[in-house]
């Protein structure tokens, strides 16, 4: 089991084990929390890498948008009842048609482009992950922390228990930059994919929250009709 896999283990198990120990045998020392995905998102290497992916893979992004639009246009021909949705019956009716084959081809091409772009992001993340254990060890040693848990598994943790920013700072020193073009034969690791998915969920949620806030501001600023 790798160090990173251990870090991904449910922190609740550690808390349960600690609670089961006699009082005199429990951990003596500071307990801290670290949010792994937020730690990585905060690094300069991550932020720069995501910008570089958009620039390096501009052609793939443009092609993906074009093919997605082609797919959407093609799907409209499947919608025989005009409800702007394609159900299983409508798909089955087209299964032996050239349009169905074309749809499958488009979906495969879009997925291949997604894999290429997402692969570059995962590759960048994995390079940061490689130094995560060392950065965490540096912070826990300096601050004499005896136990680190995932904040997502806790009902409550005081703000000062969170050392995510300190680990991010340590990572910035250890990994100032990363590459975004994977070498030939490279395959993403399970841990890298998992962290990438968590990060994407956070980024999407943050983007949606920002859009909602902007919409609320626009509604507030709009003049009230008489």
What would the pLDDT profile of 42-101 be if each residue is shown by its tens digit? Answer: 999 999 999 999 999 999 999 999 999 999 999 999 988 888 889 899 889 999 999 999
Which pLDDT belongs to residue 50? 96
Q: Pick the more confident residue, 26 or 86.
A: 86
For residue 43, which of 162, 170, 142, 152 has the smallest C-alpha distance?
Answer: 170
Give the whole-number percent of the chain exceeding pLDDT 90.
67
Residue 5: is its pLDDT beyond 70?
no
Give the position of tokens 């990060």: 199
Rounded Cα–Cα distance for residues 45 and 121 (Å)? 11
- Confidence class for position 153, pLDDT limits 50, 70, 90: confident
Q: How confident is the model at residue 176 (pLDDT cuts 50, 70, 90)?
A: very high
Computed over every residue of the chain, the mean pLDDT equals: 86
0.85 cut: is pTM over it?
no
- Cα separation, 159 vs 170, in Å, equals 19
pLDDT for 211-225, tens place per residue? 998 888 888 876 655
In tens, the pLDDT along 89-136 reads 988 999 999 999 999 999 999 999 999 999 999 999 999 999 999 999
| Lowest-pLDDT choice from 17-31, 149-163, 185-199 | 17-31
Contact between 108 and 101 (Cβ < 8 Å):
no
pLDDT(24) > 70: no
Q: Which two tokens stand for residue 25?
A: 């045998």
CA distance 46 to 167: 14
């Amino acid at each position: 089991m790798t160090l990173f896999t251990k870090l991904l283990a449910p922190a609740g198990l550690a808390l349960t084990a600690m609670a089961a120990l006699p009082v005199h045998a429990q951990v003596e020392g500071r307990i801290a929390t670290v949010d792994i995905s937020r730690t990585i998102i905060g690094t300069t290497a991550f932020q720069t890498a995501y910008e570089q992916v958009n620039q390096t893979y501009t052609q793939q992004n443009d092609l993906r948008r074009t093919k997605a639009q082609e797919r959407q246009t093609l799907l409209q021909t499947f919608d025989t009842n005009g409800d702007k949705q394609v159900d299983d019956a409508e798909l089955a009716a087209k299964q032996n048609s050239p349009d169905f084959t074309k749809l499958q081809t488009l979906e495969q091409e879009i997925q291949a482009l997604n894999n290429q772009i997402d692969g570059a992001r995962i590759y960048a993340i994995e390079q940061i992950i490689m130094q995560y254990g060392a950065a965490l060890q540096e912070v826990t040693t300096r601050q004499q922390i005896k136990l680190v848990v995932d904040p997502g598994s806790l009902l409550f943790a005081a703000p000062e228990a969170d050392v995510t920013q300190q680990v991010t700072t340590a990572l910035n020193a250890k990994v100032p930059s990363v590459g975004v073009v994977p070498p030939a034969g490279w395959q993403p690791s399970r841990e890298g994919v998992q962290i990438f998915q968590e990060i994407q969920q956070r980024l999407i949620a943050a983007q949606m929250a920002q859009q909602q806030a902007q919409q609320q501001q626009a509604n507030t600023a709009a003049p009230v009709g008489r």
